[in-house]
Amino acid sequence: MLADDVTIDQILTALSVIGSVQMDRPARNERTFLDTFDWRVHEAGWSLHHTRDRIGRRLALHDRASGRMRVSAVAETAPRFTADLPTGPLHRALAPVLDVRTLLPLATVRTESTTVRILDTETKTVLRVVVDHDAIADPAVPEPDLGRRARLVAVKGYEPWAKRAGAALAQHLGIEPGPDDLLERAVRATGRHPGDYSSKLRLTLDPALSTGEAATVILGTFLATIEVNRPGARADLDPEFLHDLRVAVRRTRATLKALASVVPEAIRQDVREGFTWLGRATGEARDLDVMVLDLSDAERDAAAQGSDAARELAPLHAHLRLRRAAAYEALDRDLGSPRCQGLLDLWRTALARPWPVPAAIEAGGEAGGETGGEGAIQAGGEAGGEGDGTEPVTGVARARVLAAHRRVTRRGRAITATSAAEDLHDLRKRAKELRYLLECFASLFSRRDVDPIVTELKALQDNLGRFQDHQVQADALRRFADEMVHGAGAPTATLMRMGRLAADQDRASEQARAEFAERFAAFDRPQNHRRFARLFAPAPTPAPAR
């Protein structure tokens, strides 16, 4: 960055000691930095921007570490999805990174650039020193001016001139080299910063926290995730906003169940019912998201084999688009409803107060803490009660994880080849609860042991999830076929193709069911039980002093 009192004339004077200098007319450009909401491009070590200048409009991908352009392509408009990217190297680089996420405009920067050219004795340009003055284009940004920076752009084969120019600028003006952090400065001016959101749970709990204190940290993290994804889910920006919101709702419900007696009694029932409603309200839209994505994969596979899948499935796509649009309209209404806002406001207020609060405050009707007792145990169901919330969190975490592990083990061992599908669906829910607890409390225990347990649990969940998801999609395809027949009608070829897809889903579900016993046995093996015993067994009680 250049100090405010450094002028172009001073830069010209400093550079004149190494060669002749010539200043070009100022040029202007505008660039919009793009990334997904969860910073996938940034996490890959790149920056992506769409630029408008006198040359034209183009999309450029840069390595953040070196600042060098990796690849660029002509692009009249900024892309949103992978399908919008120009074909070629740019598409090949970004498609695996973006997946289904949309590219969002992070910040638009207008830059006025003054270029000073250094000429050798033959009046050939050997180096360009570019002074950029950057500003955020959004008038709503309170402090749009991002200051000035100088860039040394050496002509190939004349790199030593850049070192000489850098030394001259440092000696005469005190200008030292530094990273080109325009992306970070620009997004910070708009109120964000790189990496400020990730779908991965990043919880670090202090073992000295009480259970009540830890509960507010954990549940507050989930509430923040719900709130930050809510606008994107309502606007249907991409499927991951709704997915992350639903995961945060499920984690909230699992934590409420496990730590029931810590939740203030005055709001416990309302909050539990509210998040149950929110989970159901977001279900149909998510199911249709998954189906649309899976159908697209199936269609690509069929097209690769030279079939007429795209033509035959076009009516189904049209039907799904209508169903999905209706589901997202309902989702928008529910997420924007007074009921949803009231739930989140109530929960935010409750989490802002320390848990537990003296019983006298609780009795007075204000949101406060829970004093425990039989009612709390009953409210928690199988999760049980853990006192009044003043106990150290580590001991309660051990008890909750062991109880959840026993439920998964007991129910998994009871499943046989003749068990009802509902038994496997229920096991999937219990496995999710266990995984959520492990992820919430992981920082309190050895990650070396927790991570392998979570990996095994994810594999079990994946098996159970495939069993259920394929069942759900097979049923949905048959239901949609019936709707299409009784609605505007559907070509026979489309109905036959849908029947084959439903049969494929049935077979995939049966395959997942057949693999369950082996998958559960891997989770239920003695090594994992020893891990649980080592990590989560109650701490030994110290022997009394003699």
Q: List 152's β-bridge partners, or say none.
A: 129
pLDDT computed for residue 374 by the predictor: 28
pLDDT of residue 387: 66
- Alpha helix positions (H), 81-155: 89-98
Count how many residues are written for the chain. Answer: 546
Q: Kindly state the tokens that stand for 500.
A: 């084959």
Question: Which among 156, 176, 189, 178 has a CA at the least distance from the CA of 67?
Answer: 178
Structure tokens at 503: 């049969």
Question: What DSSP letter does each residue of 227-262 carry, written as one string?
Answer: HHHHHHHHHT--HHHHHHHHHHHHHHHHHHHHTGGG
pLDDT in tens, 466-489: 999 999 999 999 999 999 998 877
211-270+304-317+337-536 classified as CATH 1.40.20.10: yes
pLDDT of residue 535: 82
Confidence at residue 541, expressed as pLDDT on a 0 to 100 scale: 54
The Cα 392–Cα 396 span in angstroms is: 7
**Residue 179 to residue 182: CA distance in whole angstroms:** 9
d(CA 436, CA 222) in angstroms, rounded, equals: 11
| 29 φ/ψ sector (left φ>0, alpha ψ -120 to 50, else beta) | beta
CATH of 8-178, one of 1.10.3720.10, 2.40.320.10, 3.30.110.40, 3.40.50.720: 2.40.320.10
Enclosing H/E stretch for 171? helix 159-173
CA distance 218 to 205: 9
- Domain boundaries defined on the chain: 8-178, 211-270+304-317+337-536
Residue 57, beta-bridge partner list: 52
Pair 62, 47: CB distance under 8 Å = yes
In contact, 244 and 201? CB cutoff 8 Å = no
Predicted local distance difference test score (pLDDT) of residue 372: 33
What is the pLDDT at residue 302?
A: 66
**Type of residue found at 442:** A
Nearest Cα residue to 316 out of 466, 470, 468, 482:
482
Q: Which two tokens stand for residue 44?
A: 């890959």
User: Rounded to an integer, what distance in angstroms lies between the CA atom of residue 189 and that of residue 172?
Assistant: 31
Global confidence as pTM: 0.86
Report pLDDT for 192.
Answer: 94
Tens digit of pLDDT at every position of the chain (546 positions)? 888 889 999 999 999 999 999 999 999 999 999 999 999 999 999 999 999 998 899 999 999 988 889 999 999 999 999 999 999 999 999 999 999 999 999 999 999 999 999 999 999 999 999 999 999 999 899 999 999 999 999 899 999 999 999 999 999 999 888 777 899 999 999 999 999 999 999 899 999 999 999 999 999 999 999 999 999 999 999 999 999 999 999 999 999 999 988 999 889 999 999 999 999 999 999 999 998 888 877 777 666 666 787 788 889 999 999 999 999 999 999 999 999 999 999 999 999 988 875 443 343 433 333 333 323 323 333 333 446 789 999 999 999 999 999 999 999 999 999 999 999 999 999 999 999 999 999 999 988 888 889 999 999 999 999 999 999 999 999 999 999 998 877 899 999 999 999 999 999 999 999 999 999 999 999 988 888 888 887 766 555 555
What gap in Å lies between CA 130 and CA 463, rounded to an integer? 57
Maximum C-alpha span of the chain:
94
Q: Could you tell me the CA-to-CA distances from 56 to 30, 50, 112 in Å, in that order?
A: 11, 11, 16
CA distance 345 to 360: 23
Task: Give the count of beta carbons closer than 10 Å to the beta carbon of residue 526.
Answer: 8
